[in-house]
Each structure stands twice: as structure tokens, then as C-alpha cells.
Amino acid sequence: MEKGSRGVVETDDNEECPKHPKFLWQPFLRQLYVCTVCTSIYFVLGLCFGAPTVYIPQLRKEMQANATGSQLTDDMASWLSSILGYCSMPWVIILPILTHYIGRKIPFLIVTVMTLVSFIVYYCSTSPVHLLVSEILQGITLASNMTVLIVIIVEYSTPRYRGVFMMIESSIFFWGVWIANVTGTFSHWKNIAIIAFVCCIYAMTAIIMPESPSWLAMRGRFEECARAHHWLKGYDQESEEELENLIKSQKEYRRKCAARVNSTSWYKLRIIKETVTAKGFYQPLLLSMAVMSLYHFSGKLVCSMYAVDLISQITSSESAAYTGMLILDAVTILGMQVGCVLSKLVNRRTLLLSSSALGITFLFIISLYLHLVSIKTIAENKIISIVLLTSFSVAITCGPMIMPSTIFGELIFLRYKSSSLLILTLFSELLMATVLKLSPHIFKALTLQGAFLFYGISASIFAFILYKYLPETKDKTLQEIENYFRESHEMAEDSAKAFINEKPDNYDTQKC
């Protein structure tokens, strides 16, 4: 970057950054503020997921006590648990378009306001239909998870803090689930909305934060980009190098786009074809899909949503089910905090694969244990059942539950972010909603031991794919990760060309 440009500190050859010592601590606090603003919505999303676990049993009792003859059917209960995913679909398309054209901040504020409205409806609800309307409105909250919120945390934070911030975001989601379950267990389920109100009001303070430096650079607004970057990340040498690489790469990309400007439909179709077939587009996207598939097919989210019903079937005790649910949620949060600590000590790939392997092992053990109990080879023990479930939860939450957003937030290229996140979010939300909707039927058709075996086999397939193809991204800038995929692509092309052009000395003899 040229010296003396607006918003950039001038330096002499013999002088090193930073010139502003105060920015050594301010950038971290500002990035932490942005992270907490986003995680407040993640926390509310956890409340959205945890609420059905407690309000469905309470609503059934209330409807029976009213003696109106109407009851909460199993079908309606499954819709209350899964409609959130299906209703996020329109917003999955709308939010990436908004983030591409008008930035990151305004879509975030729209999400916050809509979430607040949904919980006003929730608080005023008196029937399952009202709750269903609230869940429909909360679709935007779920859609923001992989469209607006991840983009903000990835683009607003430095590489050294980004991984921790992303994993805090994942763990705070389950804090929301646990708080919703505790609130609904010891008080009326409507009180969950009061907690959501407070979080949404705090999230609205995002109006004071700047626009994303990456989005400003992508739009060619480089002076604003420099000011926003310095506000967020300071003036130290690492920050200046990151800003210089960001502006340089975007200027080069804009120059290439300007050289190929053509308004014909054929040209636009060719550009779309080139984008879709580019390895920098589909390789990170497919790896991200595999990570999300591992997340959903591990069965942990299903166990959290249907915790009371599952533990009731295993232990044959409703009181033990509620106690087990709270223990399971508490252990889940503990496992996530352990995972956040381990993420600073261990490589992302190592942590993801090792914790996945351990979690899958416990899935197979639980399946075997339940099978032995069903054929009366061993006697059922409530303590063993809860210990196995909590061990499975700890293992899965250390990796697959907290790392997906971090990994695909880092893997996807900036230039493909809007289109990739659109596809990935549609895939993830549809998969999540379908898994949650079908899980009660899977439990009935395969029994509990068969269901756990199914999740174990499914998770094993995706874990193997990630073992084979997932690269390491820890402490790497987004530009370095992009360069990895480009270099691997170029190396593959060079190897293919060398193989084709290479002929052994006795080629003719071998051919004969």
C-alpha cells in the first residue's frame, strides 16, 4: 500500500509498526465486542432450539388440564421442533444477496429486529399454532447463523483470535439451549422470551460498528476499508500486512473483472460455468458440506432436541429424563469449553478428527449396550446409560459441534462467499430440518439401538472423507488458505501434464 494513503500510518524504512501503542489492546476489545454482539444472536438461536424441549411437555399438560378435548399431537410436536429449519430457506437466499449488495451490518440489524418480533409473538402465545407462527418468524435467526453471523466474525477478526471467536460462537449456542431448558424446567416456558429480549436489545448496538473491511475492499472502497480495518485490527505490522494483501488481491480481482466486462447472456453463462467448475469454488464447498454432514449425522443435535423423550425411553423415568437432560446439556457446554481451550493447543484438523473418532466409538458402544439390554443379556442401569450419553456428548462437542462454522468460514474464498454460503446454508438447514423431522420415525422404525448404529455409521463415512481431504487452517490468514487451494490445483495440473508428456526410454518396446 502506498505511503500516506488516507487512513494508513506513514512509516520510514527504519521504523517499524506500530506507531500507536494504544492500539495493541483496543483492537482486541473491539473485535471481542463484535464477537459478543454476534454471539448474542447465537445465544438466542440456542433459546429457539431449546424451547421446544420444555414447552412441548408443558403445553401437553396445560391442554389436558384445560379439558378442552384438544391435544398436542405427535405430528404437531415434530413440526414445532423442525419447522425452524424449513422456514429458514427463503432467508437463506435473501440474506446472502443482502450481504453481497448492502454489506454485513444492515442485514445483521434486520435479523435482530425480526428475532425480537418473533419472541414477542412467542411470549403472547396461547396455543400451538401461535408457537408455530413464532417458529416461522425465527427462520431468519437460523438462516443468519451461516450467512450473516459467520461472515461478520470471520471478516472482523484477526487470524490469532478468529478460531477462538468462532468456537465461542458455537459453544454459546448450546449455552442458549441449556438456559432454555433450565428456565423451562424450573419456571414457565414464556420466561424464555424475556432472556431473548435482553439479548436482542444488546445486539442492536451493532449500529455503532463499522462495515466489514473485506466487503468495502470488494466494492473498491479502499480508503473506507483501511479506516475500518484499523479500527478493528490496529496498526501493528501483522495488521498492515493483512490489509495490504487484502487490498492488493481485490484490486487484482477487480482489474481482471474489468478486463472481461461483457454484457451478453452467453458471457454471463460462461462466467457462471467457470465459477462452478473452479476448484477454488467446489473443493472448499464440498469439504464444508462434509463437515456440516458430520455435525448433523453425529446425532448430537437430535439428542439435544429430543432429550426428554430419549432419556425417558432409556431410563423409563420422567424425573430421571429431566435430570438427565440438564446434566447432558451442562456436560455439552463443558465439552465445548474444553474444545475451545484445545483449539489453541491442537491443530483444527487433529482436534476435529480425533474427537469425531471418539464420539463415533461411543455411538457404537451405546448401540451395543442398548442391544444387550433389549435381549436381556445385561440388566439396564440408569447411571451407565447417562454416563455413556454424557461421554458421547463430551467427545462430539469438543470437535464436530464447535468447529464446522470455523472451518467453512475459513475455507470459502472471499469472491465466492455469497454463492457458496447460499448453497451451503440451504444444504445445512434442509439437512438439519429433515434429520430432526425424521428422527422420531427413525427411533420407532430402527429402535434406539438401531438409531444410534445408524448415526455411528453415517458419521464414520463423513469423518473418513474429512480425514482424506481436509487441510489444516489454524493461524492462517484467509489469503493463505486461498493460496493453498490454488497451489494444490496448480501442482495437480503440473503433475498431470508431466505424466502425460513423460515417456520411458523403452516406451516403444513396452507398447509392443
| Among 104-113, 129-138, 337-346, the least confident range | 337-346
197 and 300, same domain (yes or no): no
Q: Is residue 204 part of a domain?
A: yes
Q: Let me know whether 176 and 308 are in one domain.
A: no
Is 385 contained in some domain?
A: yes
- Quick: pLDDT tens for 484-510: 776 655 554 444 444 345 444 444 433
Residues 6+ apart with CB under 8 A from 366: 388, 389, 392, 449, 452
Q: At what angle do helices 279-297 and 478-501 cross, to 10 degrees?
A: 110
Grade residue 175 by pLDDT with cuts at 50, 70 and 90: confident
CATH number for the domain harbouring residue 387 = 1.20.1250.20
pLDDT at 10 over 60: no
- Which tens digits make up the pLDDT trace of 141-161? 988 887 888 888 888 888 778
User: What's the pLDDT at 509?
Assistant: 39
Res. 401: pLDDT tops 60: yes
- With beta carbons less than 8 A apart as the criterion, state whether 407 and 291 touch: yes
Region of 67 please: left (phi>0), alpha (psi -120 to 50) or beta: left
Are the CB atoms for 207 and 77 separated by under 8 Å?
A: no
Domain-embedded: residue 258? no
Domain extent, residue 197, equals: 20-209
Q: How far is CA 384 from the centre of its chain?
A: 31
In a shared domain, residues 149 and 285: no
- 93 with 183, same domain? yes
**pLDDT, the chain, mean:** 79
- Whether residues 178 and 316 share a domain: the answer is no
Cβ neighbors of 256 (< 8 A, separation 6 or more) are none
Is 492 domain-assigned? no
Domain count, the chain: 2
Q: Tell which residue, 150, 156, 157, has the closest CA to residue 173.
A: 150
349 is written with which cell numbers? 484438523
Under 8 Å between Cβ of 167 and 340: yes
Considering the domain architecture, whether residues 335 and 432 belong to the same structural domain is answered as: yes
If we measure between CA atoms, which residue out of 129, 146, 155 comes closest to residue 45?
A: 146
pLDDT given at position 199: 95
Enter the C-alpha cell of residue 134. Answer: 413464532
Q: Assess whether 43 and 188 both reside in one domain.
A: yes
Statement: residue 198 has pLDDT above 90: yes
φ and ψ at 159, to 5 degrees? -55, -35
pLDDT attached to residue 503 = 46
86 and 177 share one domain? yes
Last-in-domain residue among 209, 227, 249:
209
Please report which confidence band the pLDDT of residue 114 belongs to, taking 50, 70 and 90 as the band edges: very high
* Domain end among 162, 177, 209: 209
The residue from 175, 190, 209 where one domain ends is 209
Lowest mean pLDDT among 197-211, 241-255, 313-327, 495-509: 495-509
Question: What single-letter amino acid sits at 79?
Answer: W
Q: Residue 98: what are its φ and ψ, rounded to 5°?
A: -65, -45
Residue 239 is assigned to a structural domain of this protein: no
Same domain, residue pair 36 and 118: yes
Give CA separation, 199 vs 63, 143, 194, in Å: 30, 18, 9
Note the pLDDT of residue 76.
81
Residues 63 and 198 in one domain: yes
Question: Within this chain, do residues 296 and 421 fall inside the same structural domain, yes or no?
Answer: yes
Q: Can you give the pLDDT at residue 160? A: 78
- The pLDDT confidence band at residue 402, using thresholds 50, 70 and 90, is confident
In this model, does residue 264 exceed pLDDT 90?
no
Do 205 and 286 fall within a single domain? no
- Cell, residue 181: 431448558
- Residue 314: inside a domain, yes or no? yes
**Domain-embedded: residue 60:** yes
- Comparing CA positions, the residue from 416, 419, 399 lying closest to residue 466 is 399
Task: Tell me whether residue 442 is in a domain.
Answer: yes
pLDDT in tens, 17-27: 444 444 467 88
Between 321-325, 364-368, 443-447, 460-464, the lowest mean confidence (pLDDT) is in 321-325
